[in-house]
Structure 1
């Protein structure tokens, strides 16, 4: 099966960001940032996503007598109080070589391990050679999107008056989390029923007779090279990538942890029909088209409902902040969300929001960040394509930069990464054999699974309190379950040995 299943060498020189970690001050900063991640993870357990700040600050002067505070919880991703003892590259090699060579991982294994604070390369096997990344590609998608748009960016879905009386045009803004009503897949998503209410009010007594769907924001093919036709239906691992859809293109707004979620063959048209239904417009009066250009804003604002100006805005709803969408994308390994988020990198760069435009924009953004974009050959933003190639060294450099604190907007990625034995696609990992359990709660990583491909990349804290970034990529596996367990053994060994 060629779809991501959600639970489902040459020595490399230090990366181009090595100077970021050359000082004790920078190393201390790394550990401080990880402490912040620990706090975020605790919040994630209660309510997924970094939502505390969105709900407002509590009053500094409470009107009621203060109650005894709850005890401080133990962080899920424990961080060291000090820098800890640095690992020895020789000791890491001795510990990992037998595990990397396990038959379950096959004979094509690429790997890289770096001490984040010092940026010392601890382990390398074909580390600079791109290989099939599967869903670890989403790490690059998350970082480039955060760099391009920032964590607070929101995606807007708008409705404007059409060219003909009674015609309204819904304009897709690239929000894949849009819901029809309160029963959507993604909590807190923008909703079509609320948008419909705005449009009805703006139209006043003018009857709504037609709905036009404008998806011109995205261009080019709607599926990527290297995708299996079954990935859309019946497996439902991804939707056709269009600028308008509900529930990431799902027919039913439910995420199945195992297997797929069937998607609409035309998500935009399905969303347009759902919107028309809310406006009491027959489905046969729904068609794709282009919104008219907006006229003079002052004239449009003063125009009566009965004489709406073509292109005049009738309503708008906005997605949750981008960082929340990234949380869902990483936790559930949602391919459709990844593709839509990747398009934002292209749009921010002013290039076409297509698969090719997105790939080029993501690589360029990596270079802008000082990373080696030449070690990424991308055909999509989700990792579903068999043609994708990313080196483990690039993944590790990306993780290290995000953890450094030098680009604070990038650190938001870590709150969405699954925690070993705790959340997302790692919730049921690191269970057997029992030594693997030492990694539970102290590893944050992105999984990747295609037929014959198993990957894992993230960060961990060793028993000596050292923060390591790692990427393990096996592309010739025959038993996915055995390969995942073998990868878990490698990571658990890094946690347990310390290797100082």
Structure 2
């Protein structure tokens, strides 16, 4: 999770300039997230206004553009494999990475392999696995698709049934209050539609129908300390605010489905909440729809939200007629990516990378990123706008990321991080000193202190070494 910290005015201006650059490059979709995604932006960026005299020149001079995903700077030379290997040699020997480091570097424009180390070995991907989930979902659903949550009439008077449709960001925030996840559907709107449908009839009982998802609510390899925690909850088809009891909670819910039912009951004045099933052919009393798929993917990636990831993986299963369970979702992601020419093997057991049992070849992560920058795979582009920018936002704005000598990478790297017990890694895009766009992926899965700044800093140093060099 990105930590909040106070920035001086000059850096806020830098971020504003960067945000405007992102909007101009990626379009309105990405800009919407950079300017309104307050749940994931440690810096509150003011709405763009005409700059005061003198400020315009400062912004122009200070702006650091994100990597150009459409290609490299004109005539930028391609690094050589020998140059890349030489640039990485010292950093790869850092003991903080441990004895098992897998890595790949490609030239994005020509797909030339510039560096390869253990890329076919099955490694624990940690949260870089979310890139696989995102790509699979964008293969089977449109970026504009939304997921519905419905309330139908129960079989008894005074009873309504809340039917979860797999919207992980549905919000219980009070009317007029910001939602934890921007653009989220609101239970207050759903309750208002139910009341309008029922007229003067009272609601006394809310049943929660969670049947859209099946199987265990936690994955193999999840520890007892993982649920509930500040990074995971049980995975249910019905939940509010990313599996929380209330929007402002840091620790997620031990019963996300009932938390959603309780929130709806409070909005409707009902006094009883229980689990149940919707009667066949029940009258729909109201429904709301989630933010679009591309927004959910951006939110999942930028904050590395495990709960959103697991729910989205189940939507891959549903779209491919598989059980919406951990096993069904993992198989759906595997088969969907295989159809796109990306082989992840049989080692994934969840969609977030949280499980200690996950194993995939690093080459699958690299291939996913290469396909994403390929113009032929334009439907995967929301994956790119969800990547954090080094030194600016998301998981790459944590206090210890890209500091010291690695600060050279600020603004030049877009990436997804991965941190788990014994695992530290990063995968994404960067622009080198010559302006060449590179795709990279690194995972150290025997790191002695993966959650410590020294271990994560070692990965940052690997990436910064590529940013600094033309590697010829």
TM-score, with structure 1 as normaliser: 0.81
SS in 2 for 1:472: strand
Residue 251 of structure 1, CA deviation = 3.2
Q: Counterpart in 1 of 2:43?
A: none
Question: C-alpha distance in 1, partners of 2:283/2:236?
Answer: 23
Q: Counterpart in 1 of 2:437?
A: 467
Q: Counterpart in 1 of 2:11?
A: none
Q: Counterpart in 1 of 2:128?
A: 136
Residue 186 of structure 1, CA deviation = 1.0
- Contact 2:33–2:298 under 8 Å retained in 1: no
Q: Counterpart in 1 of 2:14?
A: none
Residue 214 of structure 1, CA deviation = 0.4
Residue by residue over 1:265-309, the C-alpha shift from the partner in whole angstroms, topping out at 9 and shown as x without a partner, is 111011101111111110xx2111111122xxxxxxxxxxxxxxx
- Contact 1:396–1:471 under 8 Å retained in 2: yes
Matched, 1:269 2:261: no
Q: Counterpart in 1 of 2:212?
A: 217
Mapping 1:42-441, distance limit 5 Å: 44-48=33-37, 74=63, 76-79=65-68, 80-181=72-173, 182-233=177-228, 235-254=229-248, 261-282=250-271, 285-294=272-281, 311-374=282-345, 377-428=347-398, 429-433=400-404, 435-441=405-411
Question: C-alpha distance in 2, partners of 1:411/1:93?
Answer: 29
- Contact 1:6–1:333 under 8 Å retained in 2: no
* Change beyond 3 A, Cα 1:250–1:34: closer
Residue by residue over 1:443-475, the C-alpha shift from the partner in whole angstroms, topping out at 9 and shown as x without a partner, is 011111112211111111111121111111011
Question: C-alpha distance in 2, partners of 1:270/1:137?
Answer: 28
Residue 431 of structure 1, CA deviation = 3.7
Structure 1 unpaired stretches of 5+: 9-32, 50-69, 256-260, 295-310
- Contact 2:412–2:431 under 8 Å retained in 1: yes
Question: C-alpha distance in 2, partners of 1:35/1:78?
Answer: 13
- Contact 2:415–2:427 under 8 Å retained in 1: yes
Task: Tell me whether 71-80 or 267-276 shows the greater mean CA deviation.
Answer: 71-80
SS in 2 for 1:276: helix
Question: C-alpha distance in 2, partners of 1:42/1:318?
Answer: 21
- Contact 1:430–1:440 under 8 Å retained in 2: no
* Change beyond 3 A, Cα 1:325–1:83: farther
Residue by residue over 1:27-49, the C-alpha shift from the partner in whole angstroms, topping out at 9 and shown as x without a partner, is xxxxxx99944997666543349
* Change beyond 3 A, Cα 1:338–1:411: same
Question: C-alpha distance in 2, partners of 1:42/1:316?
Answer: 28
* Change beyond 3 A, Cα 1:39–1:344: closer
SS in 2 for 1:366: helix
Question: C-alpha distance in 2, partners of 1:78/1:452?
Answer: 30
Among residues 454, 474, 481, which one is paired with 2:453 in the alignment?
481
* Change beyond 3 A, Cα 1:88–1:231: same
Question: C-alpha distance in 1, partners of 2:414/2:386?
Answer: 9
* Change beyond 3 A, Cα 1:458–1:208: same
* Change beyond 3 A, Cα 1:327–1:265: same
Question: C-alpha distance in 2, partners of 1:343/1:198?
Answer: 28
SS in 2 for 1:464: coil
* Change beyond 3 A, Cα 1:202–1:39: closer
**Equivalences, count:** 426
Question: C-alpha distance in 2, partners of 1:214/1:424?
Answer: 34
Task: Tell me whether 216-225 or 376-385 shows the greater mean CA deviation.
Answer: 376-385
Question: C-alpha distance in 2, partners of 1:76/1:130?
Answer: 35
Question: C-alpha distance in 2, partners of 1:392/1:157?
Answer: 37
Residue 184 of structure 1, CA deviation = 2.9
Structure 2 unpaired stretches of 5+: 5-21, 39-55
Question: C-alpha distance in 2, partners of 1:7/1:390?
Answer: 29
Residue 166 of structure 1, CA deviation = 2.1
